[in-house]
Amino acid sequence: MTETSILMEVKNVFKAFGEDWEREKVVENLNLDIKRNQLTAIVGPSGCGKSTVVNLLAGFESPDSGQIMMEGGAVSGPSKDRLVVFQETALMPWLTTYQNVTFGPKLRGDMPARSLKEAADRIIDTVGLREFKDKYPLQLSGGMQRRAELARALINQPLVMIMDEPFRGLDAMTRQLMQEFYLRLCEEEARTNVFVTSELEEAIILADSLVVLSNRPTTVREVIQIDLPRPRNLNMLSSPEAYDYKRHAMEMLHEEALKSFSGTESGSDFLKSYAQQP
């Protein structure tokens, strides 16, 4: 991980949804640099607009004002250079692991059959699914499905992998294994990642830089450089350094979550009574 130039730039982005009086500002004054070959983790309070930021980066949505740039050009729509792995599975149930992984390149017809087969076999090996390549998604465990999903994105060699809470919903043990697996994958091959998660510890252990988003309309509250040494492992989360990152980010997230809570009538009543406690 040597080259750290900027791959994507979010410049002063504003995004709202809905009409007139119902209009809801979701993203405001968002400025963010995504550095090449780094993992940028994004955390923010529930419902603040994280998936909207993902959709903007991917080009599924366009900003109302401001710009999203990639390698100097404006992002104007989806591209195989920017692939998203969502929380919900996008595997096609009627296709095997191998068929799911090769589906995109086959559809586009942009890889000769032999190199596609080689690439698919290599990637399926990398994600540890060699013995499951002829199985259908329903025959795979949750963790295996997530890995098949990763393989499906990786075969396209995107310039940036954008992950929207990819491990949400997995049981605790599988989630830990996936975090370890993803750490290895990132550390063994240079890749640019944007990783959205609501789990602060997951963000800290994976990240080179940690972006803390504010409550809605969301903007960048702070970017924290995570200087834990690499290769990393989950035990490092009990180090004093990791604890300091966690405490600092947690304070900000707590403040932001309280703001959204106090925005409702019952929420501000709760906060008043909370403040009056001895």
Ligand X SMILES: Nc1ncnc2c1ncn2[C@@H]1O[C@H](COP(=O)(O)OP(=O)(O)OP(=O)(O)O)[C@@H](O)[C@H]1O
* Residue ranges binding Mg ion (CB under 5 A): 50-51
Nearer CB in complex with Mg ion: 101/211: 211
Name which of 43 and 91 has its Cβ closer to ligand X: 43
Beta bridge partners of 85: 163
Interacting span for ligand X (CB under 6 A) from 49-57, 71-79, 95-103, 132-140: 49-57
> Between residues 106 and 259, which has the closer beta carbon with respect to ligand X?
259
Half-sphere exposure at residue 200, Cβ-oriented, CA atoms within 13 angstroms: 19
Instruction: State which amino acid sits at residue 148.
Output: A
Binding of residue 96 to ligand X (CB under 6 A): no
Of Mg ion, ligand X, none, which one does residue 96 interact with (CB within 5 to 8 Å by kind)?
none
Question: What tokens appear for 12 in the block?
Answer: 């002063």
Annotate each residue in 172-211 with x if it binds ligand X (CB under 6 A) or - if it does not, as one string: --------------------------x-------------
Q: Min. distance of Cβ 15 from ligand X in angstroms?
A: 9
Choice from 9, 14, 17, 201 touching ligand X (CB under 6 A): 17
Q: Which is nearer to Mg ion, 51 or 179 (CB)?
A: 51
Q: DSSP secondary-structure letter at 101? A: H
In angstroms, the CA 2 to CA 38 distance is 9
d(C-alpha 89, C-alpha 137), whole Å: 9
CB 207 within 8 A of CB 1: no
> Given the complex with Mg ion, which of 50 and 175 has the nearer CB atom?
50
Number of C-beta neighbours around residue 190 at 10 A: 12
User: Which span sits near ligand X by CB under 6 A: 41-49, 78-86, 155-163, 267-275?
Assistant: 41-49
Strand order in the sheet with 192-196: 82-85, 160-164, 192-196, 39-43, 209-213, 220-225
Q: In whole angstroms, what is the distance from residue 266 CA to residue 258 CA?
A: 12
- Binding part of the chain for ligand X, among 44-52, 107-115, 133-141, 221-229 by CB under 6 A, reads 44-52
Closest by CA position to 90, among listed 28, 150, 2, 174? 150
Nearest approach in angstroms of CB 41 to ligand X is: 14
Query: CB-wise, 50 or 146, nearer to ligand X?
Result: 50
Q: Are 138 and 146 a contacting pair, CB within 8 Å?
A: no
67 binds ligand X (CB under 6 A): no
Which residues contact ligand X (rule: CB under 6 A)? 17, 24, 26, 44, 46-52, 198
